[in-house]
Amino acid sequence: MAANESKAKRIQSPCVGLCSTTVGDRVCRGCQRTEDEIRDWFTLDADARKARMQALDALRVRVASRFLHVDDSACLEAQLIRHRIRFRSEQPSLSRAVELLRVGRTRMQDMSRYGLRRHASVARLAPDALYAALQEALMQEGLHRLTTAPTAPSV
């Protein structure tokens, strides 16, 4: 099988390798999926997985927009490539920024070098503190989504 065929058949996943559901969280701190979504991921068809990834991106964009603005998406992408941080071509810039902060928060100083700008309300936060606030907001949104998600009908 050719490399590009193998890549096309590979099942995409939002997993970032930091699954906190294994330590008791009901929503993963890494990818924001619920424990049920993680368990059922490989049973979903391609359209359902794509829709779920889009919803997770939308969640990250909605939350990250409270903290960050992307001034230069090309610069952000170049930094992701430079630091070998995985992203998808269709992934929105703010969702990509969440990944950059997750991986580089302890090494970043001048966020403008990454195409990012903090909102005024968090302008004084260092990147690691900014990521902690962003992560907490993502967890709260994820838990809210968990409690408001429709339940499956019993059989």
**What is the rounded distance in angstroms from the CA atom of residue 70 to the CA atom of residue 116?**
5
* Residue ranges of domains in the chain: 53-146
Q: Which two tokens stand for residue 6?
A: 């193998």
Integer angstrom CA distances of residue 78 from 8, 82, 146: 23, 6, 34
Closest C-alpha to 75, from 108, 53, 50, 102: 108
Q: What is the pLDDT along the chain (155 residues), one digit of tens a residue?
A: 444 444 445 557 776 666 666 666 777 776 777 787 877 888 888 898 888 889 889 999 999 999 999 999 999 999 999 999 989 899 999 999 999 998 899 999 899 999 999 999 999 999 999 999 999 999 888 888 777 765 544 33
**What is the rounded distance in angstroms from the CA atom of residue 4 to the CA atom of residue 10?**
10
The model carries a pTM of 0.79
